[in-house]
Amino acid sequence: MNITNDYRRELKSKIIEYAMNEFRQRGIKAVKMDEISRGLHVSKRTVYEIFGDKEELLLAGIELRMRNLEEC
pLDDT given for residue 1 in this prediction:
56
Q: Could you write out the DSSP letters of every residue in 17-69?
A: HHHHHHHHHH-TTT--HHHHHHHHT--HHHHHHH-SSHHHHHHHHHHHHHHHH
- Give Rg (Cα) of the chain: 12
- Tell me the whole-structure pTM to 2 decimals: 0.90
pLDDT in tens, 23-60: 999 999 999 999 999 999 999 999 999 999 999 999 99
pLDDT given for residue 10 in this prediction:
95
d(CA 55, CA 72): 26
**40 and 18 Cβ atoms separated by less than 8 Å:** yes
